[in-house]
Amino acid sequence: MNSLFLIILILMGGAVLAYIAKKVNPMLSSIVSFISIASAAAVFFLMTDRESVILHIGGFELQWGLNAYSWVFGAMVISMATFASLYSIAYMKGKDRLGYFNLNFTLSVAAMMGILFSMDWISFFIFWEIMTWSSFLIIVYNGISEGKIGIKYMIFSAIGGYSMLMAMVITKSQIDSFLIADLISSFSSMSLGLQALIGVLFLIAFSVKSAVMPLHVWAPRAYADSPMSYTSIFSGLLSKMGVFGLGIMLISVFSKTTNGNIFVYSEVLAWLGAITGVIATFYAIIQTDAKRLLAYSSVAQLGYIVVGLAIGTKLSVMAAIFMAIMHAIFKGTLFMAVGAVEKQTGTTDMTKLGALIRKMPWTFVASLMSIIALAGIPPLGGFVGKWMLYESMITSDHYFLIIMTFLSSTAAFLYSYRFLFGIFLGQEEKEFENVKEAPAIMVIPMIILAGSLFFFGVFPGYIFEPIANGMEYLGMGQVDWNMTVLSNGWGNHVDTLSIVNSILTIFGIAFIFLGLKNRKKTRYVTTKDIHTGGEIPTENENLTYAVDFYKPFERAIEPAMKRKMDFYYNKFGEGIETLFDFVRRLYTGNGQTYALYVVIFLVILLIFSEQIFF
Amino acid sequence: MDNSIWISILGFLATVVLAFTVGVFYGGFVRKITARIQNRVGPPVYQNFFDIIKLYSKKTAVHHGWMQHLGPAFAITASVTSLMFIPVLNGQGWIWFENLNFKGDLIFLIYMMVFGSLGMALGAGQTGNPHSAIGVSRGLSQMVGYEIPWVLALVAIMMQAHTTSITGLLDYQNANNTWMMFESPLAFVAALMAMLGMFHYAPFDVPFAPAELASGPGSEFGGKYLALMMTSGSIFAFVKLVLIVDIFMGGASNLIMLVVKTFLLYMIPVLYGIVSPRYRTEQSIRYFWGWPTFIGILGVLYVVFIR
């Protein structure tokens, strides 16, 4: 059997089996889900043939295949999903409606793989909608103001879905083919207006999923209020499907426009991405809930990825896809860590939590590594992506874009620290005295993923290779890469190996000198035993600094935060309501009025009949 | 064993010792100058040296956990690693101070220099001292302020010289026989203003604010920890000075020129700070997002459209 077909079949079958297995034992449902995803991963990585498969369904010809570009995303999706579903076994233990959850969990993985395999727009759209629906059902799973969040998500997904459908239909009417490859090859022969129309419609469709401003408003709450084991793939992988589509559009399709390589929307999109980054980062800074903080941070990080894709040089696209993969890993890990904290303590409110580092050391280590990668600090993977992005911006003369990106990524240090401090550091709280480390089955995926961040930071070449192949498939030509040396268009380079050597050597010396030597000689004291200017804090005195952590910064950025995007959408909604209210008034319910309308209509017909009918 | 390995190890040690000595003596000078301006006698110039040696010999009794041990280790890692990637001298003296100069560039360095403060902040965070937390919150907020004009200045000169590497910028200045501060003066002004914030002297000493925060993030660190932090701070001050000298003032061909240039540069934040009161944090951020950013933008435009 064809491997692609097999993968989809395993995942779809696993979804159904997981639902049925719930009747036997709730735990079994999660395990079935994990096994099906893991075996699909095994099939995916052992697959040697990449031949396409053609299905005939209802007069349509669905064509599936795997190319070098979708392989990159496929590998990311299936391996992250495996870890997330392993984590999910322990995280979802004891919750109700597990069959429902696991069905949708596995189904969204299947849908994502389906999107990546699709070679025609029909199957692309079908899987896209399956993905949207299964994620919608999980968003409402927790039941936290599902009306508001779910509807917001649904409306924006519908906008995206209908845009895509419209673009597909227009494409079909023009070139009489649903194949993605045909759109790419015949795009240059279309008229300029049509190119713009199709382009914008597809951009809207993919921007919704990758949460580009102003289509991002669904994302923060949707990410924050789903179960964490799902959010780790929701924010890490589902949003990358938008990136996947944007990649195809921006690189393969728009480079074929008749007005040359530079497509004006790319610049607009790059700026939208950068603005998304800044605004979302500011919002992440003022959050007090760890989940919301990470959700806003996801939106911001997706902003960088969109910037990289939109700039469209070899280096920037490489950076964007690299960052997409890194983001999937570290944000997945962080959401898992928050989930572990939530499971063990029952809250994710950073003003309540504190000093969990001694209780949950492994979760802390995983979070620390992910946060370092998120902040883009060498030598972890996040740095590689950030570096390439900045260099590509400088070498392609996007000098103000780089400032916007830099503003958001420097401000990202604020929420990065807030996250670690709010949960793991600071004053010890009585309430959380007896908290234990999360179960091993939750910790292991986190640690493995965090370790991979370090590995890919030192040897980014292992990821560069598939990305370079994928970019070559998209038509960017030969892309140079090196296992440990990053270089930009001006010939400047950074050697990750010497950075790591230097850091590890010096850190090792300092660690032995301070950490190991002093640890034995000193004794541990509680966080009440501190310098307080002579006063001795009593037992119940609260020394926690957690509320309004960045108040001064909030004051400084006040003007930028006055209006949320929601405000404009609400105003728009109110305007529409007023309009419809006016329309409603036409229906008075009085037969005489309706008769009058008929008369007026006839009069208009009579007067303008010449213009209308001839 | 290969001879070059010994040279690089000795070079590493020589660079660190040089940076440490210069940094510590500068600290001493600052204390002396401050004292003279405030009409005091002040400690001798070598006082900081003695302080550090004394602190290294102290024993520490208590700790609050692992991150407290690791915080200063992160800080020293960041300062020494940054030092390794910065050309101390140009021209002669290459072999000794070369280290890893050709292995990194400015963008990398910007991030590397943050590594230490974030690690330090984590260490300070675990102590649970509210002063530390407030100090960190202020420090990070202020960093977002001054990084913007600083990066604007760097972007301007990188665009001008068409290189992002520090050695490349040095070569550019040597080849054209000029200094970057004359080539793009607006960028230099923006960088100087950002530098005021980077050195944390008044009016930008909000994170440490001795009067209100009991020296902020460092308040729980004593003995060896404090010594290591002082060492790291001295090296880091040297790193920042040499970096600005390298990219704006054509580097230095020998140690005397290096000392003269860095010392003159160092006097700007110091002298400005001595006579200034302290800003509030949001004032400080707004200051950096005001004129310095505007000048930085002008600097970039100047490079793009005029040169």
Band (A257; pLDDT cuts 50, 70, 90): low
State yes or no: pLDDT of A438 exceeds 70: yes
Q: How many domains does chain B have?
A: 1
Q: Tens of pLDDT along A183-223? A: 888 877 777 778 878 888 888 888 888 888 778 888 888 88
State yes or no: pLDDT of A373 exceeds 80: yes
Best residue in A364, A384, A390, A420 for a mutation probing chain B (most B CBs within 10 Å): A390
- Could you tell me the CA-to-CA distances from B12 to A22, A559, B32, B241, B243 in Å, in that order? 63, 48, 30, 19, 17
- The larger pLDDT score, comparing residue A612 to residue A214, is at A214
- Over residues B59-84, the mean pLDDT reads 84
Band (A612; pLDDT cuts 50, 70, 90): low
- Inter-chain contact B111–A376, Cβ cutoff 8 Å? yes
- Over residues A451-463, the mean pLDDT reads 89
Q: Tens of pLDDT along B174-184? A: 888 888 888 88
Band (A529; pLDDT cuts 50, 70, 90): confident
**Mean per-residue pLDDT over chain B, rounded:** 85
Nearest residue on chain B to A509, alpha-carbon basis: B73
Q: What local confidence, expressed as pLDDT, does residue A437 receive?
A: 87
- Over residues A494-515, the mean pLDDT reads 81
Is A351 near chain B, with CB under 8 Å? no
Nearest residue on chain A to B58, alpha-carbon basis: A518
Q: What local confidence, expressed as pLDDT, does residue A326 receive?
A: 92
Q: What local confidence, expressed as pLDDT, does residue A614 receive?
A: 52
- Over residues A571-590, the mean pLDDT reads 80
B contacts of A425 (beta carbons < 8 Å) = 67, 122, 125-126, 128
State yes or no: pLDDT of A51 exceeds 70: no
What percentage of chain A has pLDDT greater than the value 70? 96
B contacts of A384 (beta carbons < 8 Å) = none
B contacts of A555 (beta carbons < 8 Å) = 282
- Over residues B251-267, the mean pLDDT reads 87
Q: Tens of pLDDT along A141-152? A: 877 776 778 888
- The larger pLDDT score, comparing residue B231 to residue A147, is at B231
State yes or no: pLDDT of B1 exceeds 60: no
**Encoding tokens for residue B259?**
């000392």
Nearest CA to CA, how far is B260 from chain A (Å)?
A: 29
Burial of A533 (0-12, 13-18, 19+ CB in 10 A): exposed
**Encoding tokens for residue A580?**
């419809």
- Over residues A119-131, the mean pLDDT reads 89
Best residue in B127, B129, B140, B285 for a mutation probing chain A (most A CBs within 10 Å): B140
- Inter-chain contact A556–B121, Cβ cutoff 8 Å? no
Nearest CA to CA, how far is B11 from chain A (Å)?
A: 14
Q: Give the A window 374-433 contacts with B, CB below 8 Å.
A: 375-378, 383, 386-387, 390-391, 394, 397, 399-400, 402-403, 406-407, 410-411, 413-414, 416-417, 420-421, 425-428
What percentage of chain B has pLDDT greater than the value 70? 95
Nearest CA to CA, how far is A360 from chain B (Å)?
A: 13
Count each helix (H run) and each strand (E run) in chain A, helices first.
Answer: 24, 5
Q: Give the A window 445-504 contacts with B, CB below 8 Å.
A: 488, 490-495, 498-499, 502-503
Is A507 near chain B, with CB under 8 Å? yes
State yes or no: pLDDT of A297 exceeds 80: yes
Q: What local confidence, expressed as pLDDT, does residue B2 receive?
A: 62
Best residue in A368, A400, A507 for a mutation probing chain B (most B CBs within 10 Å): A507
Name the H helices within A140-218: 146-175, 180-186, 192-209
- Inter-chain contact B128–A357, Cβ cutoff 8 Å? no
Domain of B97 in residue numbering reads as: 3-306
Q: Tens of pLDDT along A305-353? A: 988 888 888 888 889 999 999 999 999 999 999 999 988 888 888 888 8
Q: How far apart are the first and last CA of chain A?
A: 62
State yes or no: pLDDT of A448 exceeds 90: yes
State yes or no: pLDDT of B16 exceeds 80: yes
- The neighbouring-strand residues paired with A60 are A57
Q: Return the minimum-mean-pLDDT range out of A130-139, A253-262, B274-283.
A: A253-262
- Inter-chain contact A358–B65, Cβ cutoff 8 Å? yes
- Inter-chain contact A521–B128, Cβ cutoff 8 Å? no
State yes or no: pLDDT of A516 exceeds 80: no
Band (B149; pLDDT cuts 50, 70, 90): very high
A contacts of B236 (beta carbons < 8 Å) = none
- Inter-chain contact B282–A553, Cβ cutoff 8 Å? yes
**Encoding tokens for residue A135?**
């994620």
- Over residues A16-37, the mean pLDDT reads 88
- Over residues A246-272, the mean pLDDT reads 74
- Over residues B123-147, the mean pLDDT reads 87
Least CB-CB distance to B70: which of A383, A390, A511? A511
What percentage of chain A has pLDDT greater than the value 90? 12
State yes or no: pLDDT of A397 exceeds 90: no
Q: What local confidence, expressed as pLDDT, does residue A329 receive?
A: 92
CA distance B69 to B63: 8
Letter string b/e over residues A507-516, b meaning 16 or more CB atoms within 10 A of that residue's CB: beebbebbbe
State yes or no: pLDDT of A595 exceeds 70: yes
- Over residues A24-42, the mean pLDDT reads 89
Whether B97 and B14 have beta carbons less than 8 Å apart is answered as yes
Q: What local confidence, expressed as pLDDT, does residue A504 receive?
A: 85
Q: What local confidence, expressed as pLDDT, does residue B91 receive?
A: 64
**Mean per-residue pLDDT over chain A, rounded:** 84
State yes or no: pLDDT of B20 exceeds 80: yes
State yes or no: pLDDT of A261 exceeds 60: no
A contacts of B289 (beta carbons < 8 Å) = 556
- Could you tell me the CA-to-CA distances from A441 to A111, A474, A496, B82 in Å, in that order? 26, 39, 32, 39
- Over residues B257-261, the mean pLDDT reads 88
- Over residues B184-198, the mean pLDDT reads 90
- Inter-chain contact A530–B159, Cβ cutoff 8 Å? no
ipTM of the complex, rounded to two decimals:
0.91
Q: Where are the beta strands (DSSP E) in A388-440?
A: none
Q: What local confidence, expressed as pLDDT, does residue A517 receive?
A: 73
State yes or no: pLDDT of A53 exceeds 70: yes
CA distance A614 to A604: 15
Nearest residue on chain A to B109, alpha-carbon basis: A378
CA distance A263 to B164: 27
Nearest CA to CA, how far is A77 from chain B (Å)?
A: 29
DSSP A516: I
Whether A23 and A107 have beta carbons less than 8 Å apart is answered as no
Q: What is the pTM of this model?
A: 0.90
B contacts of A484 (beta carbons < 8 Å) = none
B contacts of A522 (beta carbons < 8 Å) = 60-63
The residue type of B177 is N
- Inter-chain contact B220–A525, Cβ cutoff 8 Å? no
A contacts of B64 (beta carbons < 8 Å) = 524-527, 530
- Inter-chain contact B155–A529, Cβ cutoff 8 Å? no
Least CB-CB distance to B108: which of A355, A400, A494? A494
Determine the Cα angle at B233 with ends B229 and B234, to 5°. 120
CA distance A31 to A22: 10
The residue type of B18 is L
CA distance A188 to B213: 64
Q: What local confidence, expressed as pLDDT, does residue A36 receive?
A: 92
Nearest residue on chain B to A408, alpha-carbon basis: B144
CA distance B180 to A140: 58
Is A522 near chain B, with CB under 8 Å? yes
- The residue count of chain A comes to 614
Is A520 near chain B, with CB under 8 Å? no
SS3 B46: coil
- The neighbouring-strand residues paired with A55 are A62
Nearest residue on chain A to B150, alpha-carbon basis: A403
Q: Tens of pLDDT along A158-181? A: 888 888 898 888 888 888 878 888
Nearest residue on chain A to B108, alpha-carbon basis: A387
- Over residues B40-59, the mean pLDDT reads 88
State yes or no: pLDDT of B95 exceeds 80: no
State yes or no: pLDDT of A118 exceeds 70: yes
State yes or no: pLDDT of A527 exceeds 80: no
